Structure 1
Amino acid sequence: MAKLRLRGKDLIDIGYPQNKSISIAMEVMLKHYKRESKERVLVLLKEVLANPEKYNGDGLFGKIAEALLGAKKTEARKLNATRAPFTIFGENDIEAEAKGQLFTALKLPISKAGALMPDGHAGYGLPIGGVLATENAVIPYGVGVDIGCRMCLSLYDINPSYLEGHKDKYVGILETHTKFGSYEVHKSPNDSEVFENPAFRDIPLLKKLKDKAYKQLGSSGGGNHFVEFGIVEVHGQDNEFKVPPGKYVGVLSHSGSRGLGANIAKEYTRLATKQTPLPREAQHLAWLDLDTHDGQEYWIAMNLAGDYASACHHDIHKRIAKALGARPLAMVENHHNFAWKEMINGQELIVHRKGATPAQKNVLGIIPGSMTAPGFIVKGLGNELSLNSASHGAGRLLSRSKAKQSITQSELKKVLKDHGVTLLGAGLDEAPMAYKDINKVMAQQTELVEVMGTFLPKIVRMDRG
């Protein structure tokens, strides 16, 4: 069938008002009904025009209905002259560019409070380590491209000496049961209840992404994502995960929502940029009002991506547990690229944590170091100045390009040997020397989290690039 030929005049002829409802209707129909006849498309558009209230919230026609019912006019937004209140932790060790990005975000008319964690460094929109509380609005780049990127740690009652004494076995498990990057997927993907989420049916973008998400389940991304065996040391009797003090074998994973999250971020950032145009220095901070169709749709899609990221980690850990022939004693996990509805100073706000760990009182989390430095099992202290947040890792000391230029393979091999770490994959941009000192970062956030235990990497699997 020929491609749909639809003009603005066609919509005016059937009664559409000469406002943005025409351009929105054109975009929706040319995108989702491009192989339908013009007659069929016009019948559908007449139905929406006759009763827009009926289609409010609909995955396909909701945006057209919103425009017909008189949505807010798109207009350029100005930044406030002053910043919302904020606190920076470890300020002397954070680059000026990262602080500048936070300062710009704090001037958004929707911003109510902010914070920057001690692992902070420059990113897009919000800096990595940035936390921003906004009123009734969500910033796609404030969440990040890898929506729901998270940590997950499983503890096993296995003698840590086995990691060295039976190294080939553990190397083989990671080589066989973990997949990384754009092209590696499991030959037999497992099923997951996450795919029963109605958003995969109701939101056209998610419907298109479902098959790819299914194939990528249980895989990890490139860059700094990893799955590793290491030694867990639990410090005290009084811990939230009910494991006695001592040393254990641990499996630690770091990854996010794969292609699903990346495509959600791309599409809704595009929509946000159109709906809330901002000055050049703030263009990556465009937001979606949560009382709009696109804002509600992004919120649903973001939460689905978070659930999918969690399902990916659970699949990874399930495969490894089966290969080990053991059940974990405990599991600790947390998101760090996400937005939550939380009460701040008596008001419900949207708290974005881009590369920051939730640290509400008694909430558990994982803060990793590098491939040769310890990670930390932590319990949040509920510090209001940090908006109940902590760092999500050590943070980068060198950009990826600078790391590749200044670190050699021989230097990397020596550091790995000195620390007794076996590395499978990874480029020079992930060398330990490219990261800040995690012990210093932890010392800068003693008022944010309490350390419950440590994780020392021993066998590390990353994308081979």
Structure 2
Amino acid sequence: MARNVASLPFVYKHVALMPDVHLGKGALVGSVLATHDAIIPAAVGVDVGCGMGAMQMPFGADQLDGRLKKIRQDIEAMIPVGFNDNKEVEKAVYNWQGWNHFKELHRGVQHLETKALKQMGSLGGGNHFIELCVDTQNQVWLMLHSGSRNIGNMLAQNHIKTARELARLARTQLPDPDLAYFVAGTSEFADYWRDLQWAQDYARFNRQVMMDRFKQIVEKHVAGGKPTKPLLVVNCHHNYAEKEMHYDREVYVTRKGAVRARTEDYGIIPGSMGAKSYIVKGKGNAESYCSCSHGAGRLMSRSAAKRQFDVDDVIRQTDGIECRKDAGVIDEIPAAYKPIETVMQNQADLVEIVATLRQLVCVKG
């Protein structure tokens, strides 16, 4: 699959693979590719702008004693998960500047404005999650994983369909149909790039809205509802594309399951539910296009995990964590993922570890 991508004439230099790399659609999850004058919509994927948010709070772990179950219940009550959306739209969401450009987006999503409005500030399903963590210094952290929800998915699907149709009409020979691409300077490229940036902004703000609610929940239980100032805030994509300079040339960089890791960048690398997670700072490794892994990476498919494990395994592997322990999360069991410690050892040249976290509460999508 990596060779297929690298064989395309517009791929710049090389394809970089992260230590959590695994199978994906078109391109490997955990890969970074730089391109000149072209972009592959399916390589970016359909969960546009998917990424992580984290916040270091000025609280100690002892201040959470006896409060974990109620914090989890409040998270589940205030932040919709799965296919659910918000019943009421808050002022901050209405005021997001991105709505001013909604009418410019692909005509195939114009009927979704109300849905997109109500989903802003919701988690989604799959491997998306909200976690309350503590680090090795017993400092409290808030962490979550989410993307651009249904609107990002539908924008991507519309453009992927267009790219495939263009390849068919032009009789373009591709090693994989999912590597259909747009050429810079065409209207199709311009339309996709516009919608991609919009969806990435939506995803980033979506995480911010949820993080603000999460922060208020924890402050309610720990600080009597008094607002506090976080010690560090991180909000980073790991499924996206941007224009960047690499090897003295401006190129389009697509990170499919990878985090930007320039020397000034903070990143978040979560382990599986029940494993360690890491706050990192980039080392600016040029060969990786200044990137690092976005997590542990799956060791087995969701269906394989469901065949191999049961609820008792979930209970055993998530011992000590306030979370769901039912058949609905078997596919997210820690054993379905690669050991995060090994992944971190394999990217010591890409990032330095700032904080090591362990989960106390986990709410799955």
TM-score by length of 1: 0.72
Quick check: 1:410 aligned with 2:301?
no
Q: Alignment partner for residue 118 of structure 1, among 9, 19, 30?
A: 19
Pairwise CA RMSD: 1.6
The alpha-carbon deviation at position 135 of structure 1 amounts to: 0.7
Quick check: 1:209 aligned with 2:209?
no
Quick check: 1:142 aligned with 2:43?
yes
Q: Alignment partner for residue 216 of structure 2, among 309, 312, 322?
A: 322
Structure 1 partner of 2:199? 305
Deviates more, 1:313-322 or 1:367-376: 313-322
Structure 1 partner of 2:144? 253
Contact 1:276–1:288, Cα closer than 8 Å, also in 2: no
Q: 1:152 to 1:169 in 2, by over 3 A?
A: same
Q: 1:289 to 1:379 in 2, by over 3 A?
A: same
Name the CA distance, whole Å, in 2 between partners of 1:337 and 1:297.
19
Structure 1 partner of 2:166? 275
The aligned amino acid for 1:248 is Q
The aligned amino acid for 1:274 is E
Contact 2:53–2:235, Cα closer than 8 Å, also in 1: yes
Structure 2 partner of 1:91? none
The alpha-carbon deviation at position 206 of structure 1 amounts to: 4.7
TM-score by length of 2: 0.91
2:60 aligned counterpart, secondary structure: coil
Q: 1:109 to 1:247 in 2, by over 3 A?
A: same
Q: Alignment partner for residue 288 of structure 1, among 159, 164, 182?
A: 182
Quick check: 1:130 aligned with 2:31?
yes
- Structure 1: give runs of 5+ residues left out of the alignment: 1-100, 234-245
Name the CA distance, whole Å, in 2 between partners of 1:146 and 1:158.
33
The aligned amino acid for 2:263 is K
Structure 1 partner of 2:287? 385
The alpha-carbon deviation at position 362 of structure 1 amounts to: 2.1
The alpha-carbon deviation at position 294 of structure 1 amounts to: 1.3
The aligned amino acid for 2:156 is A
Q: Alignment partner for residue 155 of structure 2, among 243, 254, 264?
A: 264
- Select the structure of larger CA radius of gyration: 1
Q: 1:304 to 1:196 in 2, by over 3 A?
A: closer
Name the CA distance, whole Å, in 2 between partners of 1:370 and 1:136.
37
Q: Deviations over 1:367-419 (max 9, x none)?
A: 000111111111111111111110000000011111110011111111111xx
For residues 27-176 of structure 1, the aligned pairs below 5 Å read 101-112=1-12, 113-176=14-77
Contact 1:178–1:316, Cα closer than 8 Å, also in 2: yes
Name the CA distance, whole Å, in 1 between partners of 2:359 and 2:46.
27
Q: 1:368 to 1:386 in 2, by over 3 A?
A: same
- Structure 2: give runs of 5+ residues left out of the alignment: 220-224
The aligned amino acid for 1:294 is E
1:273 aligned counterpart, secondary structure: helix
The aligned amino acid for 2:353 is V
Kindly tell me the number of residue pairs found equivalent between the two proteins. Answer: 348
Structure 1 partner of 2:355? 453
The aligned amino acid for 1:225 is H
Contact 1:424–1:461, Cα closer than 8 Å, also in 2: yes
Q: 1:164 to 1:408 in 2, by over 3 A?
A: farther
**Greater length-normalized contact order (CA 8 Å, ≥ 6 residues apart):** 2
1:161 aligned counterpart, secondary structure: helix
The aligned amino acid for 2:10 is I
Name the CA distance, whole Å, in 2 between partners of 1:133 and 1:290.
14
Greater strand share, structure number: 2
Structure 2 partner of 1:366? 268
The alpha-carbon deviation at position 194 of structure 1 amounts to: 3.4
The aligned amino acid for 2:150 is G
Q: Deviations over 1:325-355 (max 9, x none)?
A: 2333321121000011111211111110000
1:427 aligned counterpart, secondary structure: helix
Name the CA distance, whole Å, in 1 between partners of 2:357 and 2:149.
25
Q: Deviations over 1:271-296 (max 9, x none)?
A: 11122345464210111112111111
The alpha-carbon deviation at position 432 of structure 1 amounts to: 0.2
The aligned amino acid for 2:158 is E
